[in-house]
Amino acid sequence: MSTIYFSDSDFEEKVLKADKPVLVDFYADWCGPCKMAAPIIEELAGEYDGKVAIGKLDVDVNQQTAMRFGVMSIPTVIMFKDGKEVDRQVGFGGRVMYENMIKKVI
């Protein structure tokens, strides 16, 4: 499965009410480190399909959700489980860091 794209209008339903953990990459198209993270996020979405939902939220387009979760720097990756934030990484941490976040919740 490919990466899911979240928005202010569907975040509650697709992330906070999800029946499995959700990894959300808060990003912007102009952000260099976000571009480095993008292919890794895409790969992990395929590898962990069915276990964890993995998606992206463009902070320029969806400012309400970014503000709600206090995202001040990008990329910020937040892991949600049962509607609550359980882990957060600010800045590009590489594949191993993202995988470690996933492994903590599955």
Predicted pLDDT of residue 3: 82
Q: Within a 10 A sphere around the Cβ of 68, how many other Cβ atoms?
A: 11
**What does the angle CA 17 – CA 8 – CA 83 come to, to the nearest 5 degrees?**
20
**Does residue 2 surpass a pLDDT of 80?**
no
Q: pLDDT tens for residues 19-37?
A: 999 999 999 999 999 999 9
Residue 1 has pLDDT above 70, yes or no: no
* Pairing of β 84-90 and β 4-6: unpaired
Domain boundaries, the chain: 4-103
pTM over 0.75: yes
pLDDT band at 43 (very low <50, low <70, confident <90, very high): very high
Please tell me the predicted confidence (pLDDT) of residue 81: 98
Q: How big, in percent rounded to 5, are the helix, strand and coil portions of the chain? A: 35, 25, 40
What backbone torsions phi and psi does residue 40 show, to the nearest 5 degrees? -70, -45
Q: Which candidate, 6, 2, 24, 8, places its Cα nearest to that of 80?
A: 24
pLDDT digits (tens, 9 = 90+) for 47-102: 999 999 999 999 999 999 999 999 999 999 999 999 999 999 999 989 999 999 99
Q: Annotated catalytic sites, by residue?
A: 31, 34
Q: Which CATH architecture does the domain made up of 4-103 adopt?
A: 3-Layer(aba) Sandwich (3.40)
Cα gap 71→81, rounded to integer Å:
18
